[in-house]
């Protein structure tokens, strides 16, 4: 995991998707984890750390979701990859 700066683009992206789809934080994280292999999901603390700007999302998890995810999860992963590749 990479530590990021205070300009938390990932937090803004997470908020955008949560607002657009009316998702509480736990539902947002569980929907993403549901699209990952069982042994590759992330704990809630991981998602909070990304949201608070402590870490970047995992590139390979986002790549996997961009390829295999469905609905908003696939879109979110694609947008996250764009941010990761730009940093």
Predicted confidence (pLDDT) per residue in 52-80, tens digit: 989 899 999 999 999 999 999 999 999 99
1 falls within a domain: no
pLDDT of residue 3: 47
76 falls within a domain: yes
User: CA distances (Å), 53 to each of 11, 34, 69, 71, 74, in order?
Assistant: 7, 23, 24, 25, 22
Range of the domain at 21: 9-86
Total domains in the fold of the chain: 1
Q: How far apart are CA 55 and CA 80, in angstroms?
A: 13
Report which of 87, 23, 28, 19 is spatially closest to residue 55, judged by C-alpha positions.
Answer: 87
| Residues 9/83, Cβ–Cβ less than 8 Å | yes
30 falls within a domain: yes
2 falls within a domain: no
- Kindly report the CATH number assigned to the domain that includes residue 34: 1.10.260
The helix (H) or strand (E) run that includes residue 1 is none
Please give the residue that has the higher pLDDT: either 39 or 79.
79
């Amino acid at each position: 995991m990479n530590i990021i700066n205070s300009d938390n683009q990932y937090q803004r992206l997470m908020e955008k998707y949560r607002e657009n789809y009316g998702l509480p934080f736990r539902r947002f994280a569980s929907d993403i984890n549901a699209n990952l292999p069982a042994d590759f999901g992330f704990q809630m603390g991981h998602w909070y750390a990304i949201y608070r700007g402590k870490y970047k999302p995992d590139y390979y998890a986002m790549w996997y979701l961009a390829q295999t995810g469905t609905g908003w999860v696939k879109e979110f992963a694609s947008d996250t990859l764009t941010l990761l590749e730009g940093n």
